[in-house]
């Protein structure tokens, strides 16, 4: 739809009403909308392109690390889900059930996959016989259904898109190494591609994936200083192998249970980028995933229209050939000033303004979304110049996000200070005794949770809640 009035462009103040700001930018930038199917979303082309750009980079990275894609059915017999006790306890309340098919009631209800460990391990039991069959390093891109109570676009929707890796190994060490390879891959991806720093570490027992021995996660800070879990990698130990009787014959001819991992990132990453980089003007996308990296806004009157539009399209062709995702804004009914604001709100990293006088001078004007800087650039060699500016923007966005996170991350050494910080907003690095009681106390008092237990924060101290010994600080924050 065409944005056709000032009111359509108005977005709530990011500083005073973050939730409303989020809804506004998602809707007004045409990223996604709530579907008439309660809790599900329609991902619009601009939002989907963002996801596609992420998918491409991640898929390449998975393949480079030896993984192959495959595809398991979306519907899982209810009885499979019940085989792993923790797993069913965690997921059953969120499940959606298919009960009728082809005009008949089914003999057994089928669950629309909330995650695929059960059907996959049921299958691995048939695929794995010997140590020669290991490891299995498989991934699938799929849609997932979890009956969320309070859905929010991209962050928590009943249906969402994700990738789920499911690997099988002959030893504990190898499975643990895979778990860490992936969480590190996720960390690099979010840092280098989404331009956001993360804390990476173990989850506490309370926050662990249902059925895992250990869960590792990456946690990024959003602009409202809350945390978002951007990706998880689970060491499953032999839990699913035991639940589905998946064994292999080792080199000595003995049967052993297989070791497993699973890991995933989802369309939540789109929400992560929106809330990690947005500002009072709206969205701001890192060039590496921006659906449009450079928008050309032609400036013309009736008598210069053909000349300017012609030049704009020629330029666009050159930029495209240089690998830049470019769009010419040809909307005749809108004024340039409106378009400038519109593309700023939509988060396009670079805007090129091109009028007849620019063409006379063989130049254009380039405005940067992040810095707001605007300056003329010669048309000769423009593609190279823009490639360099996109790289600089990518770097600047990471640095800004890092500065923001550092300014809002504090070491706290008393429970009062932790409570005050959680109230104010930000990440609190505090000592914790590793006890669920203290963890629950913090959660009940502040709604904040332990986001992760990073190895980098090791170093003894005393739990801020109970004063008992602590092996290191953990990251406390309110979270999405």
Which of the stretches 100-108, 179-187, 382-390, 450-458 binds a second copy when contact is defined by CB under 8 A? Answer: 100-108
Both tokens of 404, joined, read 């923001």
By CB under 8 A, is residue 66 in contact with a second copy?
Answer: no
Where do we find the tokens 């998880």? 232
Across the strands, what pairs with 266?
Answer: 162
Our measurement of the distance from residue 429's CA atom to the centroid of its chain's CA atoms, rounded to an integer in Å, reads 23
Which of 32, 183 has the CB closer to a second copy?
32
Min dist. Cβ of residue 74 to a second copy (A) = 6
By CB under 8 A, is residue 3 in contact with a second copy?
Answer: no
Q: Mind giving me the DSSP string for 122-152?
A: HHHHHH--BGGG--EEEEEEEEEE---SS-B
Min dist. Cβ of residue 96 to a second copy (A) = 4
**Please, which of residues 70-99 interact with a second copy by CB under 8 A?**
70-77, 93-99
By CB under 8 A, is residue 333 in contact with a second copy?
Answer: yes
Binding letters toward a second copy, positions 274-313, x by CB under 8 A = ----------------------------------------
**Please, which of residues 407-426 interact with a second copy by CB under 8 A?**
none
For residue 288, CA distances in Å to 52, 58, 283, 349, 434 come to 12, 12, 15, 10, 39
By CB under 8 A, is residue 112 in contact with a second copy?
Answer: yes
Which of 93, 337 has the CB closer to a second copy?
93
Which of the stretches 67-75, 311-319, 397-405, 437-445 binds a second copy when contact is defined by CB under 8 A? Answer: 67-75
Min dist. Cβ of residue 443 to a second copy (A) = 23
- What torsion do the CA atoms of 147, 148, 151, 156 make, to the nearest 10 degrees? -100
Contacts of 319 (CB under 8 A, 6+ apart): 294, 326, 382, 383, 386
Please report the sign of the dihedral spanned by the C-alpha atoms of residue 223, residue 224, residue 230, residue 234.
Answer: positive
Element (H, E) at 197: none
- Count of residues interacting with a second copy (CB under 8 A): 56
Min dist. Cβ of residue 132 to a second copy (A) = 5
Min dist. Cβ of residue 151 to a second copy (A) = 11
| Nearest Cα residue to 351 out of 317, 374, 379 | 374
Task: Report the distance separating Cα 29 and Cα 47, nearest Å.
Answer: 9
Min dist. Cβ of residue 7 to a second copy (A) = 16
Which of 290, 430 has the CB closer to a second copy?
290
Min dist. Cβ of residue 410 to a second copy (A) = 38
Which residue of 8, 13, 20, 68 would you call a contact of a second copy, by CB under 8 A?
68
**Please, which of residues 123-162 interact with a second copy by CB under 8 A?**
123, 127, 129-130, 132-133, 138, 142-143, 145, 147, 149, 158-159, 161
By CB under 8 A, is residue 100 in contact with a second copy?
Answer: yes
Task: Report the distance separating Cα 307 and Cα 328, nearest Å.
Answer: 14
Min dist. Cβ of residue 158 to a second copy (A) = 8
User: E strands of 238-373, at which residues?
Assistant: 247-249, 255-257, 259-266, 283-284, 294-298, 326-328, 346-347, 350-354, 363-368
Min dist. Cβ of residue 131 to a second copy (A) = 11
Which of 26, 196 has the CB closer to a second copy?
26
By CB under 8 A, is residue 119 in contact with a second copy?
Answer: yes
Min dist. Cβ of residue 150 to a second copy (A) = 11
**Please, which of residues 160-219 interact with a second copy by CB under 8 A?**
161
In this structure, the number of other CB atoms found within 10 A of the CB of residue 381 comes to 9
Min dist. Cβ of residue 128 to a second copy (A) = 8
**Phi/psi-derived region of residue 25, left when phi > 0, alpha when psi is between -120 and 50, beta in every other case:** alpha
For residue 359, CA distances in Å to 328, 365, 459 come to 16, 11, 62
Which residue of 3, 14, 26, 41 would you call a contact of a second copy, by CB under 8 A?
41
Task: Report the distance separating Cα 337 and Cα 299, nearest Å.
Answer: 10
By CB under 8 A, is residue 322 in contact with a second copy?
Answer: no
Contacts of 238 (CB under 8 A, 6+ apart): 257, 258, 259, 260
Both tokens of 290, joined, read 């921006």
Which of 129, 423 has the CB closer to a second copy?
129
Which of 100, 444 has the CB closer to a second copy?
100
By CB under 8 A, is residue 110 in contact with a second copy?
Answer: yes
Where do we find the tokens 């951007």? 230
Whether 259 contacts 171, CB under 8 Å: yes
Note the residues at the interface with a second copy (CB under 8 A): 1-2, 35-37, 40-45, 48-49, 52, 68-77, 93-103, 109-110, 112, 119, 122-123, 127, 129-130, 132-133, 138, 142-143, 145, 147, 149, 158-159, 161, 333
């Amino acid at each position: 739809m065409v944005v056709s009035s000032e009111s359509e462009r108005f977005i709530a103040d990011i500083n005073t009403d973050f939730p409303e700001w989020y809804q506004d930018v998602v809707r007004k930038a045409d990223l996604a909308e709530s579907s008439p199917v309660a809790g599900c979303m329609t991902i619009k082309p601009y939002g989907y392109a963002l996801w596609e750009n992420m998918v491409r980079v991640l898929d390449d990275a998975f393949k480079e690390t030896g993984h192959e894609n495959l595809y398991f059915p979306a519907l899982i017999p209810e009885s499979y889900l019940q085989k792993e006790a923790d797993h069913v306890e965690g997921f059953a309340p969120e499940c959606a059930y298919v009960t009728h098919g082809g005009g008949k009631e089914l003999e057994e209800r089928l669950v629309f996959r909330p995650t695929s460990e059960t059907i996959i391990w049921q299958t691995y039991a048939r695929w794995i016989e010997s140590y020669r069959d290991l490891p299995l390093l498989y991934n699938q891109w799929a849609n997932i259904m979890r009956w969320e109570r309070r859905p929010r676009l991209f962050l928590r929707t009943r249906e969402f898109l994700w990738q789920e890796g499911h690997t099988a190994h002959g030893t504990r060490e190898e499975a643990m190494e895979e778990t860490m390879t992936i969480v590190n891959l996720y960390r690099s991806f979010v840092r280098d591609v989404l331009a956001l720093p993360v804390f990476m570490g173990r989850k506490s027992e309370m926050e662990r994936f249902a059925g895992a021995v250990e869960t590792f996660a990456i946690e990024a800070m959003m602009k409202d200083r809350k945390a978002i879990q951007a990706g998880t990698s689970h060491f499953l130990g032999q839990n699913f192998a035991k639940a589905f009787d998946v064994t292999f014959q080792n080199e000595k001819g003995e049967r052993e249970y297989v070791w497993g991992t699973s890991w995933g990132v989802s369309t939540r990453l789109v929400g992560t980028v929106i809330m990690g980089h947005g500002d009072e003007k709206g969205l701001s996308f890192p060039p590496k995933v921006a659906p449009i990296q450079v928008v050309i806004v032609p400036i013309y009157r009736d008598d210069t229209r053909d000349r300017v539009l012609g030049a704009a399209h020629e330029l666009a062709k050159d930029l495209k050939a240089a690998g830049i995702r470019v769009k010419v804004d040809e909307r005749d009914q809108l004024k340039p000033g409106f378009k400038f604001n519109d593309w700023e709100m939509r988060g396009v990293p670079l805007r090129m303004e091109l009028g007849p006088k620019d063409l006379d001078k063989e130049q254009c004007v380039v405005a940067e979304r992040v810095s707001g800087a605007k300056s003329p650039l010669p048309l000769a060699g423009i593609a190279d110049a823009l490639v360099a500016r996109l790289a600089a923007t990518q770097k600047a966005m990471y640095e800004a996000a890092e500065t923001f996170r550092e300014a809002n991350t504090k070491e706290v050494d008393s429970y009062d200070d932790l409570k005050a910080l959680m109230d104010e907003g930000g990440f609190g690095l505090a000592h914790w005794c590793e006890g669920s009681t203290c963890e629950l106390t913090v959660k009940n008092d502040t709604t904040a949770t332990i986001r992760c237990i990073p190895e980098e924060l090791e170093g003894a101290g005393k739990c801020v809640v109970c004063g008992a010994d602590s092996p290191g600080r953990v990251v406390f924050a309110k979270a999405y």
